Amino acid sequence: MQLDTLSGLTATLPSPSKEAVQVRMMRELFKRTRESALVGFLPVILIVWAHWEAQPRGQLLWWAGWALAVLGYRILVAHLFLAQPQAQEARRRSWFWLEWLGAMALAAVWVGSIRIVGTGQIDTLFYLRLIFIVALVAFVLSAMGIELRLYASFLTAMVVGTLLMLHLEYPAFVRELPVVNAAFVAYAAMLLIRSRGEQQRTHEWVRARLTQRLLLDQLNQTIQQELQMHEALRLKTMELEASNRKLGELATRDGLTGAFRRGHIEGELRRMVKAWERQPSDFSILLLDIDHFKRINDAHGHAVGDEVLRQLAAQAQQTLRGSDLFGRWGGEEFIALLPDTALPAALEAAERMRLVIQRLEFQGADGAVFGVTVSIGVAQLEAGVSADLLSQRADTAMYAAKHAGRNRVLAYQPGQSQRAPD
């Protein structure tokens, strides 16, 4: 079961393209080329130093210049390749041949050292050069081994060239030690076999790195998609909350004036009266009615009448405190609930509201400017008075204000008339 699960996970892993792997292998080849070429300056300096007294200096410096030029060429080609990522895939074949040319030049430098730098004697310096050559083909394995064709070419040039030079320049050495031929060939064969393993290990490492990069890209893409989804969900939630608030306002607010609907304001009135019964405190209400509102509708039309209701409600609410509640009681009647307010303070609040409304100006359909007035009744909650009775008392006071000539504020007094003149 676990093996099946692991196989399923492996099958879903992203797989880098063949071209991407080849480009990354080439990039790794040039990185190692640059590093190995920089290290290659040291043996050139050591050879020159070791032969400084044994060889003509002009000939020695000519070989050193040739060697340094080859190393510089390899560094330059590697740098140009690594500095141009956009051209790596398109010109991959050309870059390979430039690298191959540098490898062949490097082989020629070291094979040529047998003749150019050689003293003709089988001495310590002769063995030193052979040791450098043997070490070089092993050292370059780490740089060129990831490209089998390149390393095989370099190895062939080094082995064949070295044996040829030994036969031409040091025949006595080869006759005395014929095993040298077989030893060089066997050593080259072993290095070539190792290069195969080096290439496979690097290839697997490159594929793993590219797969990791693809997984990270997929993860980042998934995270971005999730962030976008969360943002979209957040916006949708905000829209839903706004819609719910609007629905709540539509359920509790009057669509024309923005004041609380009668059902909501009645519920708040009953709740406040119940709270007063548990803990008595000053509580008053005021009820206002627009004077001669029917005449306004008849003279100017219902559209103007609606504008009167809107502006009147807006201005009336501005005169109240934040703890006060203002609602539309019905038609052109409005109610205000004033917690922690005794009757004298409630009368003052009603008077401020009356004066603000009296200063309002409206323009009729014919262009004529007119104003409106209100009659306001005020009542204070007392022990034994219910919410219905309290609103009736405010209504009685309001009609008494109309009987008294309108455009005024009156508090509830027993015996007031509940009928208003037309």
At residue 6, the pLDDT reads 43
Which helix or strand (DSSP H or E) is residue 375 part of? strand 374-380
At residue 5, the pLDDT reads 47
DSSP helix/strand/coil, 268 = helix
Q: Residue 328's closest CA among 320, 317, 340, 341? A: 317
Q: Which CA distances in Å does 117 have to 63, 102, 129, 131, 407?
A: 7, 21, 9, 14, 125
> Do the Cβ atoms of 317 and 323 come closer than 8 Å?
no
* Of 158 and 117, more confident: 158
At residue 351, the pLDDT reads 94
Task: Identify the residue whose tokens are 């320049």.
Answer: 169
Domain ranges of the chain: 11-221, 262-411
Homologous superfamily of the 262-411 domain (CATH)? Reverse transcriptase/Diguanylate cyclase domain (3.30.70.270)
pLDDT band at 416 (very low <50, low <70, confident <90, very high): low
Q: Mean pLDDT across the chain, nearest whole number?
A: 86
At residue 184, the pLDDT reads 86
* Of 101 and 117, more confident: 101
* Of 376 and 169, more confident: 376
Read off the pLDDT of residues 55-74 as tens digits, 9 standing for 90 and up. Answer: 888 888 998 899 999 999 99
At residue 3, the pLDDT reads 46
Read off the pLDDT of residues 301-346 as tens digits, 9 standing for 90 and up. Answer: 889 999 999 999 999 999 999 999 999 998 899 999 999 999 999 9
Q: Residue 47's closest CA among 127, 147, 139? A: 127
For CA atoms 313, 318, 321, 322, give the dihedral sign.
Answer: positive
The percent of residues above 90 in pLDDT, for the chain, comes to 37
For the residues 3-28, what does the mean pLDDT come to? 68
Amino acid at 148: L
At residue 418, the pLDDT reads 58
